[in-house]
Amino acid sequence: MSKPVVALVGRPNVGKSTLFNRIAQKRIAIVEDTPGVTRDRIYSTAEWLDHQFHIIDTGGIEIEAEDEILMQIKHQAELAIDEADVIIFVVDGKTGVTEADKEVANLLYRAKKPIVLAVNKIDNIKMQEEIYEFYSLGFGEPYPVSGVHMIGLGDLLDAVVSHFPPQEEEPKDEDVIRVALIGRPNVGKSSLVNAILGEERVIVSNVAGTTRDAIDTPFSTQNQDYILVDTAGMRKRGKVYETTEKYSVLRALKAIDDADVVLVVLDGHAGVIEQDKRIAGYAHEAGKASIFVVNKWDIVEKDDKTMTQFVKKIRDEFQFMAYAPIVFVSAKTKQRVQKILPIVDEVAEAHSMRVATSVLNDVIADAVVMTPPPSDKGKRLKVKYVTQVAVKPPTFVVFVNDKELMHFSYERYLENKLREAFGFEGTPIRLIVREKEES
């Protein structure tokens, strides 16, 4: 089920990025005391009271001249209005209500979305009285918060999640493999869907951003049912959508939530860029089975080393996804497109693989004998027992005597041994280290 989307909106320098980092509990956005320093809308996932949600920091304001500020703010607010289920309107408690705040408020009145007003930089109790003038913005109770000192975030998030729709798990047909195509606009996702289907089921255009929303296409072949989800592009409306690279991520996030297998579509002609890594990273973090599909291979000038060099480039740039297979295709000429679905079947099977506990422990015991665990200050790590607790992705609990002794390099070693023994092609696997008392 897709997670709700929360957007932080406000004029420059009210502390949106600091609040974003606190809510996401990760230091993702660059924080500086300079208006407009957040150059990109940054996305993350967050959790509060058992509610998981996507959060957007709508920075992206590059100020070139004073008279452009309101125009830029308007663009950001419009994007948030389009994408979000709930909007946190962030204002600065130290400076009071400004004309720019009123401008944002005027846009948000028309949003038809729940708005929660956060008065930031209320760093101590004495400043609480500073919030009352913000009632004049017309969004009801202002919530005093301090992103820097982590004050008031609980009350703010309580208000945010109260606007989420009820969480109802949609019934899911376990026999259907749901495949999401993600990637930058114009890498050929819609053309690839058409090539896989063998017919023009999706509108294809060479203008980046043609696909308005994620499109689900069910089909069957070789006695297997699939749903293809095309997440291409963004709505194009005015100048704000011209740089569509920045704004394709959210659609991918929503599709990843519901997918079994993710096709990370790369442009073989343009090569790998930073945005590709960011989009692929979400699939990895979400624990989804993934395949790199290098499209437009027909227009790449090639010699006998070109494919090897591109594979090396992918492996270097996506070291965190070494498990993901790579296939080179051309949606236009249908070259190697027929190889995609058999690989989808393989990685979907690996993604839902269960391993018998006895076999699992035999493999780990052999691994421990081959390379004994590390020791620290005379105390050695003992791996006592391993059990699989989940699939999609395969997740294992490793019981040890002292989890502080489990170095990430040894954890990686155990993961590699599991992959050697059982394959797990195309899927991340997760190890959870827990302490087991000495008997």
Fold classification of 357-435 is: GMP Synthetase; Chain A, domain 3 (3.30.300)
Query: pLDDT averaged over consecutive 10-residue blocks of the chain (439 residues)?
Result: 83 85 66 41 77 76 45 62 86 90 84 92 81 92 90 94 79 81 85 82 47 67 86 44 47 80 94 84 91 95 91 94 96 94 96 96 95 86 94 95 89 95 96 80
User: Residues 6 or more apart from 47 whose CB is under 8 A from it?
Assistant: 53
Tell me if 209 is assigned to a ligand binding site: no
CA 98, 103, 106, 107 dihedral sign is negative
For residue 290, what pLDDT is reported?
97
* Residue 310, phi then psi, degrees to nearest 5: -70, -40
Q: Per the annotation, does 439 bind a ligand?
A: no
Query: Is 299 annotated for ligand binding?
Result: no
DSSP 302-365: --TTHHHHHHHHHHHHTGGGTTS-EEE-BTTTTBTGGGHHHHHHHHHHHHT----HHHHHHHHH
Residues 5-43 as b or e (16 or more Cβ within 10 Å = b): bbbbbbbbbbbbbbbbbbbbeeeebebeeeebbbebbbb
152 has binding-site annotation: no
**Annotation-wise, does 298 bind a ligand?**
yes
Residue 230 labeled ligand binder: yes
Residue 225 marked as a ligand binder: no
CATH 3.30.300.20: which residues of the chain? Answer: 357-435
CA atoms within 13 A on the CB side of 287: 11
pLDDT at 241: 39
Query: For position 399, what pLDDT does the model report?
Result: 94
pTM (2 decimals)?
0.69
- The answer to whether 232 is annotated as binding is yes
Burial class (CB in 10 A: 0-12, 13-18, 19+), 64: exposed
- Residue 119 CB-half CA count within 13 A: 26
Residue 21 marked in a binding site: no
217 marked as part of a ligand binding site? no
Beta bridge partners of 41: 58
DSSP state of 165: P
* CATH 3.40.50.300 residue ranges for the chain: 5-161, 176-350
333 is an annotated ligand-binding site residue: no
Domain boundaries 176-350, corresponding CATH code: 3.40.50.300
Residue 296 labelled as part of a binding site: yes
5-161 belongs to which CATH class? Answer: alpha beta
In this structure, the number of other CB atoms found within 10 A of the CB of residue 122 comes to 24
Phi then psi dihedrals of residue 76, to 5 deg:
-65, -45
Residue whose entry in the numeric block shows the structure tokens 């008392």: 437
Contact 53, 164 (CB under 8 A): yes
Is there a binding annotation on residue 14?
Answer: yes
Q: How far apart are CA 245 and CA 162, in angstroms?
A: 32
Q: Does the annotation flag 96 for ligand binding?
A: no
